[in-house]
Each structure stands twice: as C-alpha cells, then as structure tokens.
A and B are shown apart, each in its own frame.
Chain A
Amino acid sequence: MTLGRLALVFAVLSLLGFGGGSAIIPQMHADVVDRFRWITSAEFARFYALGRLAPGPTTTMAALVGWRVAGFAGAALAALAIFVPAALVVHALGRVWQRLHGHPWRDRFARGIAPVVLGLVWASVATIGRGALDGAPTVAIALAATILMLRTQINQSLLILGAGVLGALILR
C-alpha cells in the first residue's frame, strides 16, 4: 500500500518535471512532508543537499525518501518511479520529433513554459529554506554560498562539502 503510494507520488512528479529538477521540489515537499508525513521538513532539506552533492540529477533524492519509507526496495522503487515515466515521454517525443520539426508551436511552448518553471525554482528556494535555515549562522552560510555561486566558478559539490565542514565546526 505504502509502496504503491510511493511509486504513484514520484511517477506523477516525474511526468510534471518540466525544466529539469528544482521545479518539482515544492510539490515533492507537499507530498512527502505535508501530506504523507514520510519525512520532516528538515530531513527533506538534508536529502535535497545530498542530492545536489552526489553526481546526477538532484531528483535522485527521491530514492532517499523511498529508503526512509521502505529500505532498499523503497529506494529502488522511488528511483524507477522518478526516472522511467519521464524517460518514456522523452523517448516517444524523440520518435515523433521529425514531424514536429520546424513547427512554430514547439518554440512557443518552450518560451511559454520557461518563466513558469523559473517561478517554481524560486518557490523551491522557499521550500528548502524552510527546512534548512533556522538562525543567523545557517542564513549566513546560504548567502555566502549564493554569492560564491554567482561570482566564482566554484564546483557545486565542493561548495556543499565546504559548507558541511564549516557547519560541523560552527553549528553546535
């Protein structure tokens, strides 16, 4: 029952995951934290951070939610559910693409969906922020990371690891 729910939640998110990863984060939080209470908001923020730290798409963090719910089987099922439905769509789209080639609707769709997806990325900042920022030190780390990302070419994974070391030293 729970496994079925787990698969359904992530399969739906998979199909709605336009624009890559961050756009589905607020809905994933609404489902797994607020609705089904599988994990807390703080855990969600930690899973998200690990998802960004590891190689591959951030949405692989679905596997960590699955792990919490049902161990390795849950992790594997959640990973399949978050990747396979979207993969089927893109594979089908790749096959009919020749017919759509040069169709003006294609560009209009891409241009129209971009700002909506961007709004969802902003929303995901608020979602993750709620679980991760709990005082001046964490806010300072977040702002420092923002500035480093905008101003330097630093590798994301290194930045997250560096913040982890800093956190271990100062967040007591």
Chain B
Amino acid sequence: MNSVSPWQLAVVFGRISSTAFGGGQIPAIRREVVRRNAWLSEAEFLELLGIAQIAPGPNPVNMAVLIGGRLAGPFGAVVALVACTLPGFLILLAIAAVALDPRMTFLRAGLRGCAAAAVGLTLANAIEMTLPYRTRLVELAFVLASAAAVIALRLSLELTLLILVPLSIALVRRKPA
C-alpha cells in the first residue's frame, strides 16, 4: 500500500484544493483516491472519514492528513496537509488583496452583498442539518442549549463544549436516522 509517493499526493490534493470553489471537497477526494487511483478501498475511505469527522478541524483537511499518513507515512501527511491548505490560502489572500483594497470603493457595496449571502448560506446549512433532528427532542434541546450558551449567555466555546458534550453523550442514545 505504501506505493504512493509524496509527489503524487501533492498533485492530487493540490489540484482538488485549488479548484474546489463552493465546497464539495470530500466527494472530489473520494473520486481521486478511491475511484481514479484506487489508493484506498471504499471501506478504508469510509473508515478514515469516520476519524476525520470526530476529530477537530475541517473534514477535507483531516482527510488529506489521514490519507497522506496512511499512504506515505508522517511525511505524506505533511505533504497532503500543505497541498490541501496552501492553494486556498494563497487564493484567499489574492482575492482579499483586491476586494479589501480601500481604493476599490466600488467593491465595498459588492462585499456587503457577499457577506449578506454568506449569512444565508450558513442559515441554509443550519436548517438542513437540523431537519434530521426535527422529531428528536433530546437532540433539539442540545442544539438550542449550545446556541443559547454562546449567543445569550456568552459562554466561551471551551466551556460550552466541556459542559454540553458529556451531557449530550450521556443523554443522546438513539442512532441517527
């Protein structure tokens, strides 16, 4: 299985991360790693996705680190991490350098429009993610509690997680739909 070179990892993750405007990176990674190159089986991919989802950090970045580590050791993990984050970092700085330039006054109104739309995208995410819980009162109570802890009580993220996660683990018993 260790037949993948760090260079190949850099090419694959660099290409995915520099073109994934608008999300959809996990399906793109699966296509490259499972379908196109057959570096991992479907089951191995899902196993790594399970780890990526419970660890802190964005899932696509976590997948890059896990796949890089699995296929080419710690150095592979580092290469995949860089390939997966550096293009987005540079593209973001380039966009920001233009969009946030104070001389570009005509862009200010445009940016306000972008920011308003980003609120809508996040609201849509929140609604979509909440729908599977619509009949589950215990889970909904924890959704409400953590939102209220941060917004109304202004509790820090550390405290919110520290208090609510153990309670939630203790009380949420049923499997998700």
Nearest Cβ in chain A — how far from B135, in angstroms?
A: 13
A83-B57, A138-B116 in contact; A118/B122 too (CB < 8 A)? no
Among the stretches B4-12, B31-39, B150-158, the one at the interface with A is B150-158
Main secondary structure of the interface of A (DSSP, over half): helix
Given A18-B161, A132-B118, also A122-B54 (CB < 8 A): no
Interface size range of chain A in the complex:
35 or more
Instruction: Knowing A67-B93, A112-B168, say if A145 contacts B119 (CB, 8 Å).
Output: yes
- Separation in Å of the B99 CB from the closest CB of chain A? 6
B residues less than 8 Å from A121 (CB atoms):
122, 125-126, 129
The reply to whether B56 and A83 contact each other, CB–CB distance below 8 Å, is no
B170: min CB distance to chain A, Å: 8
Given A45-B119, A63-B92, A91-B74, does the pair A57, B126 have CB atoms closer than 8 Å? no
A95-138: CB near B (< 8 Å → 1, else 0) gives 10100010000111111111111111111111111011110001
Interface centre among B23, B57, B168, B171 (most CB of A within 10 A): B57
B127 within 8 A of A: yes
Question: Is A171 on the interface with B (CB-CB < 8 A)?
Answer: yes
The answer to whether B65 touches A87, judged by C-beta atoms less than 8 angstroms apart, is yes
**CB-CB nearest in chain B for A117:** B146
Contact between A118 and B130 (Cβ–Cβ < 8 Å)?
yes
Could you tell me which residues of chain B, from 16 to 45, have a CB within 8 Å of some CB in chain A?
A: 17-23, 25
A83 touches B154 (CB 8 A): no
CB–CB B51/A90 < 8 A: yes
Contact of B1 with A by CB under 8 A: no
Chain A contact residues, CB within 8 Å of chain B: 12-24, 26-27, 30, 42, 45-61, 63-64, 67, 72, 75, 79, 83-87, 89-91, 93-95, 97, 101, 106-129, 131-134, 138-139, 141-150, 155-172
A–B Cβ pairs within 8 angstroms, 5 of them: A20-B58, A64-B96, A89-B57, A119-B145, A171-B113
Question: B residues near A, CB below 8 A?
Answer: 17-23, 25, 47-48, 50-62, 65-66, 69-70, 74, 77, 81, 84-85, 87-89, 91-93, 95-96, 99-100, 106-107, 109-130, 133, 139-140, 142-151, 154, 156-158, 160-161, 164-166, 168-172, 175-176
Additional A-B contact list (8), CB under 8 Å, known A132-B119, A146-B123: A46-B99, A51-B92, A56-B87, A111-B175, A113-B54, A145-B124, A146-B120, A159-B117
